[in-house]
Structure 1
Amino acid sequence: MKRPSQVLSGLPEWDRCAVMGVVNVTPDSFSDGGRWLDPGRAVDRGLLLAEQGADIVDVGGESTRPGATRVSEEEELRRVLPVVRSLTDKGVLVSIDTMRARVAEAAVESGARIINDVSGGRADAGMIGAAARSGVPFVVMHWRGQSARMDELAAYEDVAAEVIREVARQMDTVVAAGVDPSQVIVDPGLGFAKRRQDDWALLASLDAWRVLGRPLLVAASRKRFLGELLADPRTGEARPARERDAATAAASVLAAAQGAWAVRVHEVRDTADAVRVEAAIRTNRA
């Protein structure tokens, strides 16, 4: 399957699915909370991910796991800005994972080149304007509500069609508010207001997102539906988050084969290798 052109101003044009590595500067993220809360350790982690093959390093200062409570804006800024500055100063392509306009603006001023808002501009009334003014690519993810109540919002009849339709509407909203349509990235929001069967249905139908004509970011890494698939057959207990990386690489390469522009992962090396294998196979089929 030939990949469509996925050019975003200010970013490289990769000949394969890009890999976005995650640095959570938080004490409470679902898979690695607290490991990179210290700014120095977070910077070292981002540099390691880049060395291992991450094309982009996504820095976030607020957990969006199901049930998470929000941190203050000031605390989020305190966590992320030193990390963004240090990584960009060292030549790393950084995206900022935030739902707040002020954090997005400050991060872009500090060198971030993508705004990755899991709410797609819904959580903060100022975000879309900030994204428009920045001119950097803006991720519009499928989102139905804050983490504290997202699980109760997971009700679908045809999840793939409904999620694409809702993202298309939000794309129209952000473009009408001034975001350059050529700078929009879309994301199906795996795990956000989704049941296990919803996540699998979305992963199985990523090629349908071509109808939107925009680069697709897929973030399956270590999420609940993988842990439940790999549950202990004796106890039924889900596989721990940090033991889901092989499954993450498998999901990521299947996303790449369906045309994903980038995949977002916590551990980079295996996924970076896998997407290169997918690209080599696709090239030799052409």
Structure 2
Amino acid sequence: MTINCKGKLIDLKIPKVMGILNVTPNSFYDGGLHHSLDKIEQQTEKMLNEGADIIDVGAYSTQPNASFVSQEEELGRIIPVVSHLVKKFPDIILSVDTFRAEVAKQTIDLGAAIINDVSAGFLDDQMMAVAGAMNVPYIMMHMKGTPQNMQQFTDYEDVMHDMILYFSERMATARKHGIIDVIIDPGFGFSKTLDQNYEVLNKLDLLQNLDVSVLSALSRKSMIYKFFENTPQEALNGTSVLNTISLMKGANLLRVHDVKEAVECVKLYKKTYEN
């Protein structure tokens, strides 16, 4: 449960918080908010001060039906951000949210420490080779299809059985490429109906049988705001509830927009179960 990030060991037996930093114009909750390096720096500093252990920066929105972004455009968005943040915050642990090997390689070269791949290597057959060669932790998510068509692939006989087989195969492939530190993400909202998302959350503890760390990314997602028939802006309380359930079901890492509230979830969880 310990991952090596640029020589710094992070023990995920104690749950950690990953702050989301979207540098996209169209992300479902905060798209366009962080449109300059000054704004990006302010948001990053805020999340670090609130207790974020990792900052996850992404330049390609993967929400359902998201627009295609070329590799050149993704690199143009993310390279200046990573370069700026590692200089401004020398001790920062940056995760890069990308499914492209070249984007991962260039950002790791600049000082990022983790690859967060929504496709688990399926959208770029060089991704796992890059992760293994660069000796960085690799987050692999469960998804079928692409961000553009994933919601067409929600037909499962047993969603958790399918997910466990998926991760077993992907983890074996990762090991063949020399990837040491693997984290799995069940992919809430990706290739799943609302009811399937809650089934996965209910059975999240089954993923512990794979003997790797689990990331839970529920922050302000449609499984919350569509259930309540409101908006992402009104989904913070629901996010905190589901983050707490995730921790109780064995999640090691929470990926969130609202770091302060997630850190409080972790602290209350630890206080409750420390004895």
What is the CA distance between 1:205 and its match in structure 2? 0.9
Alignment check: 8 A CA contact 1:24 1:37 kept: no
Alignment check: 8 A CA contact 1:95 1:116 kept: yes
Distance 2:169 2:72 in 1: 31
Alignment check: 8 A CA contact 1:185 1:215 kept: yes
What is the match of residue 166 of structure 2? 166
1:60 is matched with which residue: 58, 61, 67?
58
- Give deviations 1:222-256, integer Å, cap 9, x for gaps: 1111012212xxxxxxx111211111111112111
What is the CA distance between 1:15 and its match in structure 2? 5.5
What is the match of residue 99 of structure 2? 99
Match of 2:226, SS? helix
Number of equivalences: 270
% identity of equivalent residues? 35
Distance 1:130 1:152 in 2: 30
- Give deviations 1:246-279, integer Å, cap 9, x for gaps: 1111111211122211010111111111111101
What is the CA distance between 1:147 and its match in structure 2? 1.2
- Give deviations 1:84-119, integer Å, cap 9, x for gaps: 222223122110000111110111111111100000
What is the match of residue 273 of structure 1? 264
Q: Which amino acid aligns with 1:222?
A: R
2:84 is matched with which residue: 83, 86, 92?
86
Structure 2 gap segments, 5+ residues each = none
Match of 2:4, SS? coil
Distance 1:247 1:100 in 2: 32
Alignment of 1:111-130 (within 5 A): 111-130=111-130
What is the CA distance between 1:50 and its match in structure 2? 1.0
What is the match of residue 157 of structure 1? 157
What is the match of residue 137 of structure 1? 137
1:7 is matched with which residue: 2, 27, 35?
2
Match of 2:213, SS? coil
Distance 1:69 1:125 in 2: 22
What is the match of residue 240 of structure 1? 231
TM-score by length of 1: 0.91
Match of 2:125, SS? coil
Q: Which amino acid aligns with 1:163?
A: M
**C-alpha root-mean-square deviation of aligned residues, in Å?**
1.2
What is the match of residue 188 of structure 1? 186
Distance 1:55 1:146 in 2: 29
What is the CA distance between 1:83 and its match in structure 2? 1.7
Q: Which amino acid aligns with 1:156?
A: Y
Q: Does 1:249 align with 2:240?
A: yes
What is the CA distance between 1:69 and its match in structure 2? 2.0
TM-score by length of 2: 0.95
Structure 1 gap segments, 5+ residues each = 1-5, 232-238
Alignment check: 8 A CA contact 2:99 2:119 kept: yes
- Give deviations 1:195-228, integer Å, cap 9, x for gaps: 0011000111111011110000110111111012
Alignment check: 8 A CA contact 1:47 1:87 kept: no
What is the match of residue 253 of structure 2? 262
| Greater strand fraction, Structure 1 or Structure 2 | 2
What is the match of residue 108 of structure 1? 108
Q: Which amino acid aligns with 1:228?
A: K
Distance 2:171 2:11 in 1: 22
Q: Which amino acid aligns with 1:55?
A: D
